[in-house]
Amino acid sequence: MTRPIAALVALVLLAAACGDDGAPGASPDEPSVTQGDGEQPDAEPDPQPDVDGEDAAGTEDEPADLTATDTGVTESAIRVGVVFPDTSVIGRDPGDLEAKFQVMVDSINDAGGIHGRDLEMTFHGANPLDPLSFDEACVDLVDDVQVFAAVGLFPLTTADCYGALNDTIVISAFDISPDQMASYTAPGITVLPHAARLVDARVAALVDGGVLSEGMKIAVHGADRAAAAHEQYLTALDAAGIDVVSDTVGLQTGEDQLALEAELQTLTEVWQSSDAEAVLASTPLNSQALLIAYNNSAIDLPILLPEGPGVSPSLLQDQFGLDLTPFENATALVEGVDQATKYETGQDGVRECVDRFQTATGEDVALDESRNNLAPTIMACQVFEIFAQIATAAGPELTTESFAEAAESFGPIEVTDLRAASTGPDKFDLSDTAGVIAVFNPETVQFEAVE
């Protein structure tokens, strides 16, 4: 490998559901403040406020006089922290990320804000190779700026500083695990589905697609940080008649490099000696670990990625020198329609999100591999759509408690790039999409849905 495995902590920032790229690139040396103008599947979502205009959040039946209701909520504004990784340190250029969030917030404020209050942002671009930089951003936003909520792209456990330690709402385009959420005293909301909730559906999809069959021998590998999802995979596979001949849980990419290399060497020997017919990763965190293991050994068993590849294969290849050949013998579950196709066909609000940004800034959002700015543009739309809809439902007397109550009772919610999404009691992971079977195309360097 050409770079340390430890640097793969940055790759988690680019993960999974939002497609090929994900980590933003704007990187101010100091936080900047701007204001206002400067399944269940198949469920029909209730009409939500149009953040672009006429029926915007909170424009009807507003109280004559708003008052301060909570930390970060004044009579005229709601202070929100926006956090994202500065991926310029790993050679990515997703365009002007601050502008992506700014355009989204401007559209909300221009339409009346949230019950008459403007959203006011403070930006922090954190170093993805230095987790402490995310903690420093949290301290500034919570203690100095005193935000009501933090939104953006929070890798690994960096959202915990808000939800678990500082009673602050956090909304992330990246994963927040069930264990993390259980420790939070304020709502922690993720765009991505919790693996455990969709495991049964994903195993069924692999069986229906002929990838798994009754009596098939499988080695299942998981991460210690996602133990609950791993156990549910074991249960679902057993219920489907799959013979789990090896059950391993280990370190994830981004942890101790030497320990991870040694562990993977041992695990490849375990998988090969178990008489397994394939190796299944029970979490997207381990799809990268499997690729590293295969790069460093002679193992050639098929790889199954029901949680998707986790990180853009092109990034694994171009920035970290990993050989993607093992993916040519892999099967993944993906949403089925990539973001570029959704833009071209006008699906799931992707075109509206991208066009709004392009019109406001003049930045060209690439629908191919020539630039890395499509996914982060969509992520910026997602987190503020979620915040605006739930904060509006919470009413003019906006508090952390009223926001939590609104999230618990909201139900189906409209979010760019999600075919189906919802919140509810004990459900703050939004996506309700299980995925479809995909295989790796070495020419496009991505997993593509099987027709």
Q: What percent of the chain has pLDDT over 70?
A: 84
Counting DSSP H helices and E strands in the chain, the numbers are 13, 15
Mean pLDDT along residues 392-417: 97
Q: Three-state SS for 390?
A: helix
Residue 33 has pLDDT above 70, yes or no: no
Task: Please report the pLDDT score of residue 348 as a whole number.
Answer: 94
Query: What's the pTM value of the predicted model, to 2 decimals?
Result: 0.67
Task: Please report the pLDDT score of residue 244 as a whole number.
Answer: 98
Strands (E), 199-343: 217-223, 243-250, 278-281, 303-305, 330-334
Mean pLDDT along residues 367-376: 85
Mean pLDDT along residues 89-106: 91
What spatial distance separates the first Cα and last Cα of the chain, rounded to whole Å?
Answer: 34
The more confidently predicted of residues 249 and 403 is: 403
Please tell me the least confidently modeled range out of 232-236, 240-244, 290-294: 290-294
Query: pLDDT tens digit string along 406-424?
Result: 999 999 999 999 988 999 9
Local confidence band at 434 (pLDDT 50, 70, 90 cut-offs): confident
Q: What percent of the chain has pLDDT over 90?
A: 61
Per-position DSSP letters for 63-78, written without gaps between them: -SS----BTTB-SSEE
Residue 7 has pLDDT above 70, yes or no: no
Q: Of 311, 303, 312, nearest to 332 (Cα)? A: 303
Instruction: Write out the CATH class of domain 5-194+342-423.
Output: alpha beta
Please tell me the least confidently modeled range out of 14-28, 325-339, 358-372, 410-424: 14-28
Local confidence band at 337 (pLDDT 50, 70, 90 cut-offs): confident
Per-position DSSP letters for 152-211, written without gaps between them: E---TTTTHHHHTTS--EEEESS---HHHHHT-SS-EEESSPPHHHHHHHHHHHHHHTTS
Mean pLDDT along residues 26-51: 41
Is 101 within 8 Å of 384 (Cβ atoms)? yes
Query: pLDDT tens digit string along 153-177?
Result: 999 899 999 999 999 999 999 999 9
Per DSSP, what are the bridge partners of residue 237?
none
Distance in angstroms (rounded) separating the CA atoms of residues 375 and 21: 5
Q: Which residues are CB-contacts of 444 (< 8 A; sequence separation ≥ 6)? A: none
Local confidence band at 60 (pLDDT 50, 70, 90 cut-offs): very low
Q: What is the mean pLDDT of the chain?
A: 85
The number of C-alpha atoms within 13 Å of 42 and in the hemisphere containing its C-beta is 0
Segment holding 266, helix H or strand E: helix 257-273
Local confidence band at 16 (pLDDT 50, 70, 90 cut-offs): very low
Residue 77 has pLDDT above 70, yes or no: yes
Residue 17 has pLDDT above 70, yes or no: no
Segment holding 119, helix H or strand E: strand 118-126
Q: Three-state SS for 136?
A: helix
Q: Of 97, 92, 67, nearest to 82 (Cα)? A: 97
Task: Please report the pLDDT score of residue 201 as a whole number.
Answer: 86
Task: Please report the pLDDT score of residue 35 as a whole number.
Answer: 44
Residue 354 has pLDDT above 90, yes or no: yes
Mean pLDDT along residues 311-340: 87
- For residues 174-190, one letter each, b for 16 or more C-beta atoms within 10 angstroms of the residue's C-beta and e for the rest, the string is bbbbbebbeebebbbbb
Distance in angstroms (rounded) separating the CA atoms of residues 36 and 298: 56
Q: Which residues are CB-contacts of 299 (< 8 A; sequence separation ≥ 6)? A: 268, 271, 272, 279, 293
Largest CA-CA distance found in the chain, in angstroms, rounded: 72
Q: Of 238, 338, 358, 431, nearest to 21 (Cα)? A: 338
Mean pLDDT along residues 342-349: 93
Is 360 within 8 Å of 106 (Cβ atoms)? yes
Highest mean pLDDT among 3-7, 142-146, 249-253: 142-146
Residue 22 has pLDDT above 60, yes or no: no
Distance in angstroms (rounded) separating the CA atoms of residues 232 and 244: 13
The answer to whether 5-194+342-423 and 195-336+435-449 have equal CATH topology is: yes
The more confidently predicted of residues 252 and 218 is: 218
Query: pLDDT tens digit string along 173-214?
Result: 999 999 999 999 999 999 998 877 889 889 999 999 999 999
Sketch the domain layout of the chain as residue ranges: 5-194+342-423, 195-336+435-449
The more confidently predicted of residues 285 and 80 is: 80
Query: pLDDT tens digit string along 244-301?
Result: 999 998 865 555 667 877 888 899 999 999 999 999 999 887 778 888 889 989 899 9
Provide CATH code, domain 195-336+435-449: 3.40.50.2300
Task: Please report the pLDDT score of residue 451 as a whole number.
Answer: 66
Distance in angstroms (rounded) separating the CA atoms of residues 388 and 391: 5
Distance in angstroms (rounded) separating the CA atoms of residues 257 and 280: 22
- For residues 294-318, one letter each, b for 16 or more C-beta atoms within 10 angstroms of the residue's C-beta and e for the rest, the string is bbeeebebebbbbbbbbbbbbbbbe
